[in-house]
Amino acid sequence: MLDARNVLADALNMQAEDVPEEASMDDVPEWDSLGHMRVVLLLEEIIGRSLNTEEILSLDSVQSFQHILDESLTVASQVGEGS
Amino acid sequence: MMFSTGYPSAQITNLNTGEKWSAEILASEIRCRAAALVNHGVKSDQRVMICHDGGGAFFADLFAIWSIGACAICTNPASTPSELRNLISFAKPSLLITANSRQIDDLTCLHVQSETLGAFDGTDYVLPLSESNLDSDALILFTSGTTGTPKGVVHSFRSLLARVALNQAYIGTGDLQNTLCVLPTHFGHGLIGNCLTPLFAGQHLILANENVGRVAARFGQILDDHQITFVSSVPSFWKLVVKMSPPPQSQSLHRVHVGSAPLFAQQWSQIVDWAQTDRVFNMYGITETANWISAALPDVENYESGDIGYGWGCKVAVKTPDGCVETKGEGELLIQSPALMTRYLQRQELTDQVLKGGWFHTGDIGQIREDGRIFLVGRHKYEINKGGMKVMPEEIDELLERHDSIEEACTFSVPDELAGEMIGVAVTGVSSLDLNISDLKTWCRKYIVSDKVPDHWFQVDVIPKNERGKINRADVAAYCLELKSNKD
């Protein structure tokens, strides 16, 4: 399973240990509007699809990031198994 | 002065807070605040610093300062106490106005909160006749000042009025009818171009300049809901919009300005497609000319990057490498404009470097073609342009070299797909131990706004220098990026 903190740190040019486990956008100065765009682009690359506006807006914490990551990868693996 | 009245139909809607100010409310707030300023002892030859966000109260404070003939200094609301103290000690305002909740210790000037000014009962207050005139100082915008000696661009009432009048003449009042501002109001682009221009044309200013990511994600909806006719922004904002927001359903946009950073052909096409208008202008402006001085409406078929079109009520020339001033050809862009700053505050030597021979020397390298069309081709200076925000690398070096564990720092620009440029820094430590970059970033945020904290850090054994022992920032950048590339 991919760890959201590692992916976020990668997108935001940080060390994973500097991203608190319960962090929200407000807690991470690097996660500003441009940082958010980097996060969105990297997440889309990983899950292989575009996020919609509501998903982009809901993506505001490590927890919500992990949720979308897990959900999308689960769906992707189910599609893979079914095909 | 002329700013206390004269915009009978102007209104402000602040989408950040939901507040709506009619022209009547604005006029009443200006009057209360002007009376409060006089009550605090502010006189027409003095300066007042505003350090809060751009809602109705910001404009009421600004116009109140101008209505008593004083000079306003607009600063970044996110400035750290250290930055504010540096600016105050340099510019010596008689009063600082901040947001309602902000407390700052050890200030050398009087500090009031905006709400207190607005609550002053100025109904029967007779304002003294202002002793200022059109050539008095009206506005100071700092383009640097994080550390060391700040660089404050001083505009007179005359240069500001000239800029606003020229903007209105070139844009047209119809396009300004519902103007959206997504930019901060302590820069010339956001304040003068995007806000003062529609307000002085008696039009509706709609502010959505907080939480840029959310604004970008809902941008199409915002345009539809408020029937926005005009918006100006920076290329990095449009990258967010095109990626994150569905396009507008209505075609209310009459005009789009994109400026403060280079706009390339592909992005211009994306904006045209998304905004459903081909009236997307690439703008050129600098704080010293009170923002826009030229605009290009590109040819759809033949867009050329760097095209900044034709001057807006100014004379443009180039200084060729052999020192001649020519109206065609390539060289440093020179400007004559009625909207030109009067000087850099208390920096005569610096002023003399840029205002000479009757021309303002921009530091930008341009090309003027036979038909007078202007193209930007480069820059003289090392200034970093991070998504439209200008950062002077020397300031970051100076700050970092104050840190106990850093021996030497060299800040430079790093190319970035989204922001255009990001801030990179090469640092050497006083010992051979690895520097803790996370701690260094946290330390920086105590002294400078978060946006200026370097994004890419490179700890090196030695910062490369030329044979004369001087640092060339471009060489250091190339060295660090190659190190990174080898490591990756």
Alpha carbon B450 to chain centroid distance?
A: 16
Please identify which residue in the block is written with the tokens 């996660």. Answer: A31
Contacts of B214 in chain A (CB under 8 A): 57
Q: Is B216 on the interface with A (CB under 8 A)?
A: yes
Determine whether the interchain pair B243/A57 forms a contact, defined as Cβ–Cβ distance below 8 Å. Answer: no
Contacts of B387 in chain A (CB under 8 A): 34
Q: Is domain B383-487 classified as CATH 3.40.50.970?
A: no
Contacts of B239 in chain A (CB under 8 A): 37
Looking at the structure of chain A, the number of domains it has is 1
Distance from CA of B86 to the nearest CA of A (A): 23
Q: Which residues of chain B have pLDDT under 70?
A: 1-7, 54
Query: For residue B425, what pLDDT is reported?
Result: 97
Query: For residue A2, what pLDDT is reported?
Result: 80
Instruction: Identify any residues that bridge with B245 across adjacent strands, giving them in sequence order.
Output: none
Query: For residue B270, what pLDDT is reported?
Result: 92
Tokens of B209: 């300049």
Determine whether the interchain pair B455/A41 forms a contact, defined as Cβ–Cβ distance below 8 Å. Answer: no
Angle at B419 between CA B416 and CA B424, to 5 degrees: 55
Could you say which of A13, A37, A56 has the minimum Cβ distance to residue B455? A13
Q: CA–CA separation, B199 vs B30, rounded Å? A: 14
For A58, nearest residue in chain B (alpha carbons) = B214
Q: Map residue B296 onto helix, strand or coil.
A: strand
Query: For residue A74, what pLDDT is reported?
Result: 79
> Cβ of A9: how many Cβ atoms within 10 Å?
18
Tokens of B395: 């300031």
Determine whether the interchain pair A37/B239 forms a contact, defined as Cβ–Cβ distance below 8 Å. Answer: yes
Phi-psi region at B426: left, alpha or beta (left = phi > 0; alpha = psi -120 to 50): beta
Q: Testing the interface with B: which of A17, A37, A40 to mutate, by most B Cβ within 10 A?
A: A37
At CB < 8 A and 24+ separation, what contacts does B128-134 make? B128/B38, B128/B68, B130/B1, B130/B44, B130/B67, B130/B68, B130/B69, B131/B44, B131/B45, B131/B69, B132/B1, B132/B44, B132/B45, B132/B69, B132/B70, B132/B157, B133/B157, B134/B158, B134/B161
Query: For residue B461, what pLDDT is reported?
Result: 93
Q: CA–CA separation, B162 vs A58, rounded Å? A: 45
Question: Which amino acid makes up residue B107?
Answer: L
Instruction: Identify any residues that bridge with B110 across adjacent strands, giving them in sequence order.
Output: B95
Considering only CA atoms, which of A66, A55, A73, A69 is closest in space to residue A24?
Answer: A66
Mean pLDDT score of chain A: 86
With beta carbons less than 8 A apart as the criterion, state whether B451 and B395 touch. no
Pairing of strands B420-429, B151-156: unpaired
Superfamily of segment(s) B1-302: ANL, N-terminal domain (3.40.50.12780)
Contacts of A36 in chain B (CB under 8 A): 213, 240
Query: For residue B22, what pLDDT is reported?
Result: 94
| Residue ranges making up the domain that contains A56 | 4-82
Determine whether the interchain pair A37/B438 forms a contact, defined as Cβ–Cβ distance below 8 Å. Answer: no
Could you say which of B246, B418, B456 has the minimum Cβ distance to residue A34? B418
Query: For residue B126, what pLDDT is reported?
Result: 73
Q: What is the pLDDT of residues B6-49, one digit of tens each?
A: 567 899 999 989 999 999 999 999 999 999 999 999 999 999 99
Query: For residue B1, what pLDDT is reported?
Result: 45
Question: Which amino acid makes up residue B484?
Answer: K
With beta carbons less than 8 A apart as the criterion, state whether B79 and B102 touch. no
Pairing of strands B151-156, B137-144: antiparallel
How far are the Cα atoms of B172, B198, B351, B407, B471 from residue B175, in angstroms, in the given order? 6, 9, 36, 53, 48
Distance from CA of B245 to the nearest CA of A (A): 6
Query: For residue B6, what pLDDT is reported?
Result: 53
Angle at B243 between CA A10 and CA A36, to 5 degrees: 35
Query: For residue B141, what pLDDT is reported?
Result: 97
pTM: 0.89
Q: CA–CA separation, B167 vs B190, rounded Å? A: 13
Q: Testing the interface with A: which of B209, B239, B240 to mutate, by most A Cβ within 10 A?
A: B240
Taking any CB pair shorter than 8 Å as contact, residues of chain A touching chain B are 13-15, 18, 29-30, 32-34, 36-38, 40-41, 53, 56-57
Query: For residue A83, what pLDDT is reported?
Result: 55
User: How many cross-chain Cβ pairs, A to B, lie less than 8 Å apart?
Assistant: 47
Distance from CA of A55 to the nearest CA of B (A): 10
Contacts of B445 in chain A (CB under 8 A): 29
Give yes or no for residue A80 having a pLDDT over 70: no
Q: Is B414 on the interface with A (CB under 8 A)?
A: no
Q: CA–CA separation, B300 vs B40, rounded Å? A: 56
Q: Where are the domains of chain B?
A: 1-302, 383-487
For B221, nearest residue in chain A (alpha carbons) = A53
Determine whether the interchain pair B455/A18 forms a contact, defined as Cβ–Cβ distance below 8 Å. Answer: no
**CATH code of the domain covering residue A68:** 1.10.1200.10
How far are the Cα atoms of B273, B303, B304, B372, B451 from residue B300, in angstroms, in the given order? 11, 6, 10, 19, 34
Phi, psi of B269 (to 5 degrees): -60, -40
Distance from CA of B438 to the nearest CA of A (A): 7
Considering only CA atoms, which of B485, B386, B475 is closest in space to residue B426?
Answer: B475
How far are the Cα atoms of B70, B76, B341, B362 from residue B353, in angstroms, in the given order? 28, 26, 14, 10
Could you say which of A18, A56, A57 has the minimum Cβ distance to residue B438? A18
Query: For residue B484, what pLDDT is reported?
Result: 84
Q: CA–CA separation, B419 vs B384, rounded Å? A: 11
End-to-end, the C-alpha distance of chain A in Å comes to 22
Q: CA–CA separation, B255 vs B451, rounded Å? A: 29
